[in-house]
Each structure stands twice: as C-alpha cells, then as structure tokens.
Amino acid sequence: MFHALIHHPDLTQAQHRALPHVSNTDLSILKNELLGQPRQLNAVALAYGSHFHTAVLEPTTYGRTEERGIKWADLETLARQVRRQRYCRDLLYRGQAEQSYTATHTATGVGVKLRPDLLVRSRAGRQLTLIDFKTTSSPDLAHFLTTIEKYDYDRQAALYLDVLGATRFLIIGVQKKAPHEVWRVELTATPGLIEQGRKKYAALLRHHARQAGCLSVPLYTPAPLALAA
C-alpha cells in the first residue's frame, strides 16, 4: 500500500510540520472541506496538545512558555497521571517517542508523513506497537469509545499501521477533568475498525490526488460501525 518509507530520526516537531507531505491532520481538513464543513484549527488547543505530549513523552525538554490560554497546572496534572501508571511507565521506558516518517501511497503517488507518539517493539522484535496519547472531555470510557469514530481515530490507526507495517495500535485516553482516569484502548482488537479506517484514508488520498489533477473518484462515506468496549 505504501513504499519508499524513510525514517527522519532527528526532525523537530516544527520541521516535521514543514515537510510537504500529507498528514493525518491534512486528511481531516480535506474531509471537512469535502463535506462543506470547513473548520479553523484551534491554536490554543493545538498548543496544549503539543505541550502535553512533550510533558509525557519528553519531560526533560518540557517547560512552560509565555503562550496565553494554556492551563499549565492542569496539563501537568494529566502528564503526571499518565507517567505514574505502571503500564504507561513501561511503554515510555521501552518506546521511541516522536519519530518522523515519510512514505508514498502506491495507488495514488501521494506522499504522506506521520509522527507516532510512541513506537514499542517487542523484545523479540517481531511486533511493533504504536501508541497515541489523547486527552478527552469524556465523562467515562463508554463515551470515549464513541469518539473513536467521530474523530477518525480509526483512520489514523489504519494509516499509521499500514505505513509502518505495525501490528497493534493503542490509544491511551486521559480525562481532562477529575478523576483524571487513564484508559487503554486497542483499536486493532475491534473487528472491522481498521479496515474501515483504511477505506477512509484511501478515499481521501484519492481525493487529494484528484485535486492535483491525477484522479477522479467519489468520496467514500463509511457506514456506522458499533465499537466494542
């Protein structure tokens, strides 16, 4: 599905964003445009997410800035909540954080880029697990599960799995409000979910190619899929 995979181990977040390839976020923007629902990215929310990930994944480089609108104490509470979880501590100890990759989608020739939060290889080296940390306003796990399809986490999982040839995709969800529960959800354990995400990203990449004058295909609209807890 993808070829010409390249690892860019030394790229910063800013350098990664500057790459001319298509990201999962770009696919979300394209989807909204196609549906006639263009949305402006929330700069404060993006900054909050970036700093949260730094506090969790690269705490030695974390520090407060002069940016306005970010609730630093809340952010740091969530990061501590994640890092004190035994399971998360093990992942963070064994994993590689914030690594950039680029590849080419074989069917369309579109270049894509991704930067998984964390990659963990099994001790035997036969399995590669991708972990994505997400903060959420969901009041409980059941509600959080309903956001997976709403926010196209299935598409992100399928794209990342296919580009990197990984075997598992986990989301670590962290409640923004007390009691700040931490949930572990394995998307690859839900039947049909990754295949649905694969259809989503493939259709959007074809649309991207069409806009470049290469292809002409209709937008794929997936049928609702029930998620198992």
* Statement: residue 54 has pLDDT above 50: yes
Nearest CA to 71 among 46, 41, 48, 94?
A: 48
Which of 80-89, 133-142, 216-225 shows the lowest mean pLDDT across its residues?
Answer: 216-225
Specify the pLDDT at position 38. 80
**Dihedral sign from CA coordinates of 203, 207, 209, 215:** positive
Q: How sure is the predictor about 216, in pLDDT bands with cuts at 50, 70 and 90?
A: very low
Say how far apart CA 106 and CA 108 lie, in whole Å.
Answer: 6
Half-sphere exposure of 201 (CA within 13 A, CB side): 31
Which domains does the chain carry? 2-211 (3.90.320.10)
Q: CB neighbours of 54 closer than 8 A, spacing ≥ 6?
A: 61, 62
* Statement: residue 220 has pLDDT above 50: no
Which comes out higher in pLDDT, residue 142 or 229?
142
Confidence (pTM):
0.90
Three-state DSSP at 72 gives helix
Q: Are 31 and 24 in contact (CB under 8 A)?
A: no
**Dihedral sign from CA coordinates of 184, 162, 111, 107:** negative
pLDDT (tens digit, 9 = 90+) per residue, 22-48?
A: 999 999 999 999 999 887 778 898 899
User: What is the 3 state secondary structure string of 145-200?
Assistant: HHHHHHCCHHHHHHHHHHHHCCCEEEEEEEECCCCCCEEEEEHHHCCCHHHHHHHH
What's the mean per-residue pLDDT of the chain?
91
Name the token pair of 104: 């080419």
Specify the pLDDT at position 217. 42
